[in-house]
């Protein structure tokens, strides 16, 4: 029996709208959108395996990150040297994470994901001032320096610890691929708080890294045979994110992220509680 029936035209459009919203928000804060999309898919398809759902989410995250990265590239906000270095570190983690998902029962996966959403709620609530923080200059024993000039003429100079970035990127690749969430929700705060990246550069560079990481995880699922018959769902979601991602990148210049992040934190917390309630009481 097919694991997923073909979508009706109405459902196809509905998933396009979901993808559009995911693309806007995921690109706006550089998180890829998977942490928004995955809870929705988990609630919509309680009978699907974790590997199948994460495969769909990672494929959509790839197209989201690809669309957002194109726009950020035109803005000249991507730190390509750092992005390629950190992306290379995510690749082995992404492969291992994608393969490990197939061995986790849906019941256990839902518990892990529900707890993660509640933890993300607490983190985002405490760090909702990420866009307005005052950056401090840190001195590292091993460090690299970057000088970037955006298309609008804004100049950035910053120094960071590459070893810390590589280590964290490996873990981000694993966790992101295992849970199908993209990883930007972890990478952006790390780049900003721990590695001293300017927030706009961190958001854009995170999206560039996500494109490589999510493609790696998606290909791993395809070769492992866990993608299933989800082409229509993936196509509709991907069309939506490709339309929404450039809009999210442009909105990043105009919208203060604080209130958006606070609202997202509340929503993620409620969804996390809903998933856990469903696991333990139904």
Which residue in 155, 144, 142, 160 sits closest to 200, CA to CA?
155
Nearest-angstrom CA–CA distance, 142 and 120: 30
Q: Which of 66-80, 229-243, 257-271 has the highest mean pLDDT?
A: 66-80
Nearest-angstrom CA–CA distance, 81 and 217: 22
Instruction: Provide mean pLDDT across the span 251-257.
Output: 66
Question: Which residues contact residue 147 at a Cβ distance below 8 angstroms, ignoring those fewer than 6 apart?
Answer: 155, 156, 157
Question: Which residues contact residue 114 at a Cβ distance below 8 angstroms, ignoring those fewer than 6 apart?
Answer: 272, 273, 275, 276, 279
Q: What is the pLDDT of residue 131?
A: 45
Taking the CA atoms of 124, 126, 128 and 134 in sequence, report the sign of the dihedral they define: negative
Q: Residue 245: pLDDT above 90?
A: no
Tell me the three state secondary structure of residue 183: coil
pLDDT above 70 as % of the chain: 83
Q: Which of 29-43, 66-80, 172-186, 221-235 has the highest mean pLDDT?
A: 66-80
155-160 and 144-149 strand pairing: antiparallel
Query: Distance between the two ends of the chain, CA-based, in angstroms?
Result: 26
Q: Are 24 and 247 in contact (CB under 8 A)?
A: yes
């Amino acid at each position: 029996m097919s694991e997923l029936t073909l979508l009706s035209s109405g459902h196809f459009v509905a998933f396009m709208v979901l993808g559009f919203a995911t693309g806007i928000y995921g690109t706006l804060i550089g998180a890829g959108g998977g942490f928004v999309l995955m809870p929705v898919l988990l609630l919509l398809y309680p009978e699907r395996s974790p590997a199948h759902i994460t495969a769909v989410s990672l494929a959509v995250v790839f197209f989201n990150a690809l669309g957002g990265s194109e726009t950020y590239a035109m803005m000249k906000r991507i730190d390509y040297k750092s992005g390629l270095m950190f992306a290379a570190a995510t690749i082995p983690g992404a492969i291992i994470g994608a393969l490990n998902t197939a061995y986790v029962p849906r019941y256990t996966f839902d518990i892990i994901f529900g707890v993660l959403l509640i933890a993300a709620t607490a983190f985002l609530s405490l760090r909702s001032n990420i866009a307005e923080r005052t950056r401090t200059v840190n001195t590292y024993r091993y460090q690299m320096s970057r000088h970037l000039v955006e298309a609008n003429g804004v100049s950035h100079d910053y120094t960071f610890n590459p070893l810390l970035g590589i280590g964290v990127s490996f873990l981000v690749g694993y966790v992101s691929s295992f849970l199908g969430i993209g990883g930007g929700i972890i990478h952006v705060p790390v780049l900003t708080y721990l590695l001293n990246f300017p927030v706009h550069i961190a958001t854009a560079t995170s999206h560039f890294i996500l494109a490589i990481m999510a493609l790696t995880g998606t290909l791993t699922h395809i070769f492992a045979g866990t993608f299933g018959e989800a082409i229509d769902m993936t196509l509709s979601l991907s069309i939506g994110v490709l339309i929404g991602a450039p809009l999210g990148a442009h909105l990043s210049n105009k919208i203060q992220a604080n209130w958006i992040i606070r609202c997202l934190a509340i929503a993620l917390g409620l969804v996390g509680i809903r998933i856990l309630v469903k696991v333990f009481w139904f």
